[in-house]
Amino acid sequence: MSKCPIMTTAAGIPIADNQNSLTAGPRGPVLMTDHQLMERMAHFNRERVPERVVHAKGAGAYGTFTVTADISKYTCAKLFSKVGNKCEVFLRFSTVAGELGSADTARDPRGFACKFYTEEGNWDLVGNNTPVFFVRDPLKFQDFIHSQKRHPQTGLRDNTMQWDFWSLSPESLHQVTILFSDRGIPATYRNMNGYSSHTYSVWNEKGERFWVKWHLKTMQGIKCLTNAESAKIAGEDLDYHRRDLFNAIEKGDHPKWKVQLQIMPEKDAETYHIHPFDLTKVWPHKDYPPVDVGILELNRNPENYFAEVEQAAFEPSNMPPGFGASPDKMLQARILSYADTHRYRIGINYAALPVNKPRCPVNTYHRDGHMRFDGNYGGQVNYQPNSFNGPVDDKKFREPPLKISGDADRYDHRKGNEDYSQAGDLYRLMNADQKSQLIDNIVQAMKSVPRDIQERQIKHFTAADPDYGARVAKGLGL
């Protein structure tokens, strides 16, 4: 009997166990983080494509990632096995709330999605240009996005909706402070940082796990726009950021980012004074200083925008051996949500499109579905286990077990959480001009909001820093 190929996910990532679901203990419930199970169920459900709900407007390009530091003691990922290793990448930048025809220069977080085509399958690092987010519980994500979209009656973007949600969600204050600061509108995609925001994990050959946060620091320098500058550009060129990225690469001005890593030993998370899996918090650099691990460069434009940028599909569940998730609740939900969105928006066979297809062998038991555009595995066996040399799982790719405990319940994510100190620290780090811009931007956005919502939000600003609250109140005439 000939040797069987290694079974993989649709992203080409080797599978360690295809016989047992991931559960909380041997008799416990199945976990949402079992992306392998979710992929198989969701694909099967669609075996017999619309604009993105969020991050609709964007731009993308290809490039290379080069490893510059040996971190093999932290991860067994082949990509990081030695200095000098390279792989192809595809990046997509985007705004969050705007539709396809919206202005690139709106005040909005920017998506920063990276697809690394590694020899062990695709690694998707899906983040933003900010290190934190507005909410920490995935049940609130849809509500947050609805508040940023259009009013159900008028069809207009509505400041009252936004500030009503934020004022009732104090965990949003850190991100709100960043959004309305001088860094709220990047001058170009090339002049902004990227962050995983979420806590991920890496694990080594010994089975040791480390919690990590990924940072991508622009080597072009941070440059931003004021409200007046962004409004002027929006009136002249809605596609300003998309045009800038394409033209820069076309003329050989290839943008680069330093890829950095904050590393926390697994045991530290149990006693660290900040909840390490809270998406609204950062890890202070003095505790876990970022270390340089590589250089990412964009050097090739797409040949067709729709085929490559619009159909690019990123999903946090794409983690080759050596990479892992964390108990971050928002990340756990995104592991399911992103892939499921692609199946709805692009179609069940989205992972086989050229921009998404791994640069390594793919061996799955997925079959059929809309727009099956390859040989559909011909007459190969389509179930497992089997006696006909079909793909098999391999225990050597197993991730170290994650210890979990606690009763299954719906726990109040605001109880026992402190949502003001990091926003206050950020405010106090700002110089006089940065503080003035922050206050002016907030006042401009809040001046049409009902007074009771203004007063509720000012209490949050004041809790972060009394001067912060007082200056916003003064600007609003309260």
Tell me which residue of 16, 4, 50 sits closest to 320, measured CA to CA: 16
For 115: left if phi > 0, alpha if psi spans -120 to 50, otherwise beta; the answer is beta
Tell me which residue of 424, 476, 427 sits closest to 452, measured CA to CA: 476
Which distant-in-sequence residues (6+ apart) come within 8 Å of 142 by Cβ?
A: none
Judge whether 191 counts as a catalytic residue: no
Tokens, residue 460: 């949050």
List the catalytic residue out of 35, 43, 122, 128: 128
DSSP 67: E
Tokens, residue 152: 């159900």
Q: Which helix (H) or strand (E) holds 126?
A: strand 121-128
Strands (E), 182-335: 194-195, 200-203, 209-218, 256-265, 291-300, 323-324
Compute CA 384 distance to the chain's CA centroid, rounded to the nearest angstrom: 33
Q: Which residue matches tokens 């973007």?
A: 157
Q: How far is CA 414 from CA 49, 151, 410, in A?
A: 38, 27, 12
**Interatomic CA distance for residues 465 and 461, integer angstroms:** 6
**Interatomic CA distance for residues 352 and 434, integer angstroms:** 46
For 416: left if phi > 0, alpha if psi spans -120 to 50, otherwise beta; the answer is left
Sign (positive or negative) of CA dihedral 270, 417, 412, 169: negative
Judge whether 370 counts as a catalytic residue: no
List the catalytic residue out of 55, 174, 241, 275: 55
**Which residues are the active-site residues?**
55, 128
